[in-house]
Amino acid sequence: MRAGRRSWACWSTRRPGTGGRSRGWGGRFRPRSCSGCGLRDGPKPLHVRAWTCGQCGAVHDRDINAARNILDEGRRIASG
């Protein structure tokens, strides 16, 4: 399973037509951060499905928060 994930990760970071350059997600992408205020709250065990931000008090579902962070990062990259 690890080999499959690794090859997917390598494939998913390449853009067609860019000579194999990376998409630039690098260390800036933090799925564990609050999508409201950006606080990096650190890793959580997989059984934690909902959590409350310690800074702004927003209640997050783990998957929805990650999707919002990915969308925001994609928009940031697309805007240049």
pLDDT of 20 higher than 80: no
pLDDT at 41: 82
> CA 14, CA 2: separation in Å to the nearest integer?
19
In 3D space, the residue among 32, 38, 29 whose CA is nearest the CA of residue 9 turns out to be 29
Task: Share the mean pLDDT of the chain.
Answer: 76
Residue 54 CB contacts under 8 Å (≥ 6 apart), including other chains: 39, 41
pLDDT of 2 higher than 60: no
Q: Which residue has the higher pLDDT, 59 or 17?
A: 59
